[in-house]
Chains A and B, each alone.
Chain A
Amino acid sequence: MSTMVTLPKDQLPRRDLLILPALSILTLLVLLIASEAAARFFFPEQKTDYCEIPNARLGFSYKPGCITHVKAAEGPWVVNQYNDCGYRSRESCGPKPSGTTRIALIGSSIAEGWLVGYDQSFNARAAKDLTARCHRPVEIQNLGRQACSLTCISRRVDEALALNPDVLLMTINASDIETLTEADMATRFQPTVPAHKDPATEKRSPVRRIKSLFAESRAMIVIEHYLFQDAATYLRLALINTNATGFLHTPFNSAWEQRFHNVDILLSETAAKAHEANVPFVLVEFPSAAQTAALVLKDPAQKLDPDAINTRLAQISSSHGIRFVNTLNAFRETPASNKLYYLADGHLDGEGQALISGPLVEQLTDSSDSIIAGCPVLHAQGSR
């Protein structure tokens, strides 16, 4: 302290040139750690499904008969219970009981009802509505699995058709299409799924590591959760990633055209197998959060086309005799439908899943050439 006493008032002790910035950094670190701890306490998250088991063909699948709990930071605790085939269904995957209509569902996380309670998932809601409407048991064998790419889904078609279903149902969305790579396409007929680099162990620059540390922190999830309540903000930030949101701009850029071309190939292959097995094939598109935000905003200045992806998928489906279910209108007609997602996570929440089941049940039963016959229209529809 003696140096400080002798110094003139307008001079700082030399040691303070180090101490003050260090103190500032230390304060920031303490605050960051404290906010992360608070975020983890108030927004717990469990995204590891302990029922996952290695699977050479798919990367991983679920252990038959296993029960586990998962939770999105923004959502409730959810029980994941798998049947005797490792599907997220209550009914056994054994021989179809007589008088029962069986739907085999393939898809990724939304199909699985990832982070959503079983009864809240669109397939459980649809099964319940169809059972009521058709006056006979309608079960959905849910082969959906989170992090299953479109080529991973196509690997499951034979497995699904082996269940002797009355309908083959597949879910798709922009994220599935965006993550479809040429490498996936090239290796889709290989008997085993190629080993991908694990992002966790992949060598990354220190800057990228720090960036991902912040981006993946729970505090950031909490910030995003509140920030993304505003559709304009969500869309503004989403549109920065032009690669991921290219499907909102028409005409599509070359990357998205190529992706749709690959989707066309995969869907034609699946449709051919379904046709051979004499099983109707239904494709249901569920909107992404960016699509819904664009719907909610209705801002002509943005020149976005949230319907473009559905229009293209409908065209592809039509060319392969696939029944396409467009769920976008349900989101369009629901106020603040942009909030029916775990906003930081991007998956639909339980209320959002309800918007999928309504149009799906209508398409399966109501149209003149109904896929599931003998199901009259009920006045009280849906199970929201």
Chain B
Amino acid sequence: MTIASFTFLGFALAVVLIYNCFSSATWRMWILLLADLVFLSTFSHSVSAFVPLAVFLACGFFAVHAMQRAHKEVSYLWIIGGTILAFIWLKKYTFLPHTTFLQFAYTTLGLSYIFFRVMHMIIDSHQGSLNQKVGPLAYLNYTLNFTTLVSGPIQSYPAFIEQHLAPVRPPLTIIDMGNGLERIVVGFFKVNVVALVLSMIQNQAINALSSSQPLATRALTGAIIAATYPVYLYYNFSGYTDIVIGIARFLRIKLPENFNRPFSTDNFLEFWNHWHMTLSGWLKEYVYNPLLKSLMRRYPSPRAELSLGVIAFFVTFFLIGIWHGRTSEFLFYGVLLGIGVSVNKLYQVKMAKSLGKKQYKALANNWMYQALCRGLNFTFFAFYLLWFWSTWKDLGKMANTLGPSAQLLGWSLIFVVSTIVLALWQVVRASVFRVQWEDQPFILSRYVRTVLDTSLVFVMLVVMELLNTPAPDIVYKAF
């Protein structure tokens, strides 16, 4: 079942209606679990396809219980290592021998996000911050929740349980429902219109790219291929997130946000604080912080602080990269992410040292500097995403077709255009938000939003009818 489809919407509507008929937490848990299982069952007709996932979940459950009962360091390390290994093995990372993999087809849908949730529970149980008893029903509801199963967002267990198992149901006001509906509409529009059109543009550009094109046209085609993907990915993934957040609102669950205007940020580190925020937050909490603490304990010299911080950043972002996929492309993607974050951190520290903190802060607040940094950030994002959506072979082919001059021209074009467009967007947005009505920006008034959302629905239906092409599936579903 595709998330951004009317089938899913119909399914979710049915679940919402039944779910809200019951005030008992136990009933609601059973209904949600049933919905989770029905949703999961739409991805394979074979029961055996779900066995590895079920075993992984069962092991996770017992691991959490083991950690809650005893906080032994040795068993903790074994459990963490074993869970990571099981995840890598089930995801069939290519560096493991092929013969070790299970030789039958099985589903790994949502495995990555289940892995994050299970790891969070194991670690928090070990550290003592997750004391509450985890029952099998609550555990399954948390790990398999159909709204977040496919691609998150990653919610913490206490936050989920607090809303889902509250003895008194959290309220569901008409404003909640309106906001939820708005998120669903916006999400559908993002996935089924914007992302679809962008993917079509990129595919057309890929098909049009030819060495017989004049240099300027070739550079433009190359720039379109590289620059459309980041925007497409944003609309595809944030659209999905909007839909599931909207649906969860009707289930009286407030899911965490995953995006906060990432293209408005002006450096690499800030970008990742605004992009796939729940993953960044998870890695910060469970990888970066512990790693940095551990490194600082081992090398307590204040002079090593910067290097240790950079190492911790590099490792964290490298892990983000390789988490996305099993191939060498993703390994390289991870290396680029690691290099990006390290250079960014080093640049910030060096600039603050050479200019002085005040001067550097003033520079960082300069609109021209911000605009250039935003453009550079976008250009670098578009660059390292090449290894995210393409393969070495295809990249080599494109690079050969483009040639060095067109590549240089293309990347320059992306930098210049993104700098201008993103700067203009900042100006337009600020101007629109300056218009106030009833102590809030006019654009955020429920009346204006009603008009805009209705227009989105209308345009979406017309475009879907006209293009008659299914929108590409959620990219992160594959991870």
Interface residues in chain A, defined as those with a beta carbon under 8 Å from any beta carbon in chain B: 1, 4, 9-12, 16-17, 19-20, 23-24, 27-28, 31-32, 35, 223, 226-227, 230, 233
Instruction: Assess whether A27 is in contact with B462, with CB atoms less than 8 Å apart.
Output: no
Instruction: Assess whether A233 is in contact with B173, with CB atoms less than 8 Å apart.
Output: no
- In the complex, what residues of A have CB within 8 A of residue B438's CB? 1, 4
- In the complex, what residues of B have CB within 8 A of residue A12's CB? 173-175, 178, 446
Does B454 belong to the interface (CB within 8 Å)? yes
- In the complex, what residues of A have CB within 8 A of residue B203's CB? none
Instruction: Assess whether A16 is in contact with B454, with CB atoms less than 8 Å apart.
Output: no
Main secondary structure of the interface of B (DSSP, over half): helix
Residue of A nearest to B171 (CB): A10
* A230–B469 alpha-carbon span in the complex (Å): 10
- In the complex, what residues of B have CB within 8 A of residue A17's CB? 174
Does B466 belong to the interface (CB within 8 Å)? yes
Min distance, Cβ B189 to any Cβ of chain A, angstroms: 14
* A27–B178 alpha-carbon span in the complex (Å): 17
* A28–B459 alpha-carbon span in the complex (Å): 10
- In the complex, what residues of A have CB within 8 A of residue B285's CB? none
A230-B468 CB under 8 A given contacts A10-B171, A11-B175:
yes
Instruction: Assess whether A16 is in contact with B455, with CB atoms less than 8 Å apart.
Output: no
Instruction: Assess whether A223 is in contact with B465, with CB atoms less than 8 Å apart.
Output: yes
- Could you pull out 14 A-B pairs where Cβ atoms are within 8 angstroms? A9-B175, A10-B176, A11-B173, A12-B175, A12-B178, A17-B174, A20-B446, A23-B454, A24-B450, A24-B454, A27-B451, A27-B455, A28-B454, A28-B458
Min distance, Cβ A262 to any Cβ of chain B, angstroms: 37
* A35–B173 alpha-carbon span in the complex (Å): 35
Instruction: Assess whether A10 is in contact with B447, with CB atoms less than 8 Å apart.
Output: no
Min distance, Cβ A367 to any Cβ of chain B, angstroms: 43
- In the complex, what residues of B have CB within 8 A of residue A31's CB? 454-455, 458
Shortest 4 CB-CB contacts between residues of A and residues of B: A27-B454, A10-B173, A24-B454, A31-B458
* A10–B176 alpha-carbon span in the complex (Å): 8
* A32–B458 alpha-carbon span in the complex (Å): 9
**Complex interface residues of chain B between 430 and 479 (CB less than 8 A to chain A):** 438, 446-447, 450-451, 453-455, 458, 462, 465-466, 468
* A28–B466 alpha-carbon span in the complex (Å): 18
* A121–B125 alpha-carbon span in the complex (Å): 81
Residue of B nearest to A22 (CB): B450
**Complex interface residues of chain B between 153 and 174 (CB less than 8 A to chain A):** 171, 173-174
Instruction: Assess whether A23 is in contact with B466, with CB atoms less than 8 Å apart.
Output: no
* A20–B179 alpha-carbon span in the complex (Å): 13
Number of A-B contacts (CB under 8 A): 51
Residue of B nearest to A224 (CB): B465
Instruction: Assess whether A16 is in contact with B458, with CB atoms less than 8 Å apart.
Output: no
Contact with A227, one of B173, B446, B466 (Cβ below 8 angstroms) = B466
- In the complex, what residues of A have CB within 8 A of residue B446's CB? 12, 16, 20
Min distance, Cβ A146 to any Cβ of chain B, angstroms: 29
Main secondary structure of the interface of A (DSSP, over half): helix
* A149–B451 alpha-carbon span in the complex (Å): 48
Most chain B beta-carbon contacts within 10 A, residue among A1, A9, A11, A23? A23
* A35–B463 alpha-carbon span in the complex (Å): 13
- In the complex, what residues of B have CB within 8 A of residue A223's CB? 462, 465-466
**Complex interface residues of chain B between 171 and 199 (CB less than 8 A to chain A):** 171, 173-176, 178
Min distance, Cβ B464 to any Cβ of chain A, angstroms: 10
Residue of A nearest to B439 (CB): A5
Contact with A19, one of B447, B465, B468 (Cβ below 8 angstroms) = B447
Min distance, Cβ B461 to any Cβ of chain A, angstroms: 10
Beyond A10-B176, A24-B451, A32-B458, 12 additional pairs, beta carbon < 8 A? A1-B438, A4-B438, A12-B174, A17-B174, A23-B447, A23-B454, A24-B450, A27-B450, A27-B455, A31-B458, A35-B462, A230-B468
Min distance, Cβ B438 to any Cβ of chain A, angstroms: 7
- In the complex, what residues of B have CB within 8 A of residue A23's CB? 447, 450-451, 454
Most chain A beta-carbon contacts within 10 A, residue among B454, B455, B458, B466? B454
A20-B455 CB under 8 A given contacts A227-B466, A230-B468:
no
- In the complex, what residues of A have CB within 8 A of residue B458's CB? 27-28, 31-32
- In the complex, what residues of A have CB within 8 A of residue B451's CB? 23-24, 27
Min distance, Cβ A107 to any Cβ of chain B, angstroms: 33
Min distance, Cβ B184 to any Cβ of chain A, angstroms: 15
Residue of B nearest to A8 (CB): B173
- In the complex, what residues of A have CB within 8 A of residue B176's CB? 10
Residue of B nearest to A220 (CB): B465
- In the complex, what residues of A have CB within 8 A of residue B466's CB? 223, 226-227
Instruction: Assess whether B468 is in contact with A20, with CB atoms less than 8 Å apart.
Output: no
- In the complex, what residues of A have CB within 8 A of residue B453's CB? 24
* A1–B175 alpha-carbon span in the complex (Å): 18
* A223–B468 alpha-carbon span in the complex (Å): 10
* A16–B450 alpha-carbon span in the complex (Å): 11
- In the complex, what residues of B have CB within 8 A of residue A19's CB? 447
Residue of A nearest to B458 (CB): A31
Min distance, Cβ B204 to any Cβ of chain A, angstroms: 16
- In the complex, what residues of A have CB within 8 A of residue B454's CB? 23-24, 27-28, 31
A227-B171 CB under 8 A given contacts A23-B450, A28-B458:
no
- In the complex, what residues of B have CB within 8 A of residue A9's CB? 175
* A24–B175 alpha-carbon span in the complex (Å): 16
Residue of A nearest to B176 (CB): A10
* A227–B458 alpha-carbon span in the complex (Å): 17
* A139–B214 alpha-carbon span in the complex (Å): 52
Min distance, Cβ B318 to any Cβ of chain A, angstroms: 44
Residue of B nearest to A31 (CB): B458
* A11–B177 alpha-carbon span in the complex (Å): 11
- In the complex, what residues of B have CB within 8 A of residue A227's CB? 465-466, 468
- In the complex, what residues of A have CB within 8 A of residue B468's CB? 227, 230, 233
- In the complex, what residues of B have CB within 8 A of residue A226's CB? 466
Residue of A nearest to B459 (CB): A31
- In the complex, what residues of A have CB within 8 A of residue B450's CB? 20, 23-24, 27
Instruction: Assess whether B465 is in contact with A10, with CB atoms less than 8 Å apart.
Output: no
* A226–B446 alpha-carbon span in the complex (Å): 35
Min distance, Cβ A93 to any Cβ of chain B, angstroms: 46
Instruction: Assess whether B447 is in contact with A20, with CB atoms less than 8 Å apart.
Output: yes
- In the complex, what residues of A have CB within 8 A of residue B465's CB? 223, 227
* A17–B178 alpha-carbon span in the complex (Å): 11
* A345–B127 alpha-carbon span in the complex (Å): 71
* A19–B445 alpha-carbon span in the complex (Å): 13
Most chain B beta-carbon contacts within 10 A, residue among A9, A24, A35? A24
* A227–B451 alpha-carbon span in the complex (Å): 27
* A66–B466 alpha-carbon span in the complex (Å): 39
* A228–B416 alpha-carbon span in the complex (Å): 40
- In the complex, what residues of B have CB within 8 A of residue A1's CB? 438
* A4–B438 alpha-carbon span in the complex (Å): 10
- In the complex, what residues of B have CB within 8 A of residue A27's CB? 450-451, 454-455, 458
Min distance, Cβ A109 to any Cβ of chain B, angstroms: 27
* A379–B175 alpha-carbon span in the complex (Å): 76
Residue of A nearest to B465 (CB): A223
* A16–B174 alpha-carbon span in the complex (Å): 11
Min distance, Cβ B252 to any Cβ of chain A, angstroms: 13
Instruction: Assess whether A10 is in contact with B175, with CB atoms less than 8 Å apart.
Output: yes
Min distance, Cβ B460 to any Cβ of chain A, angstroms: 12
Min distance, Cβ B210 to any Cβ of chain A, angstroms: 22
Min distance, Cβ B182 to any Cβ of chain A, angstroms: 11
- In the complex, what residues of A have CB within 8 A of residue B173's CB? 10-12
* A267–B306 alpha-carbon span in the complex (Å): 95
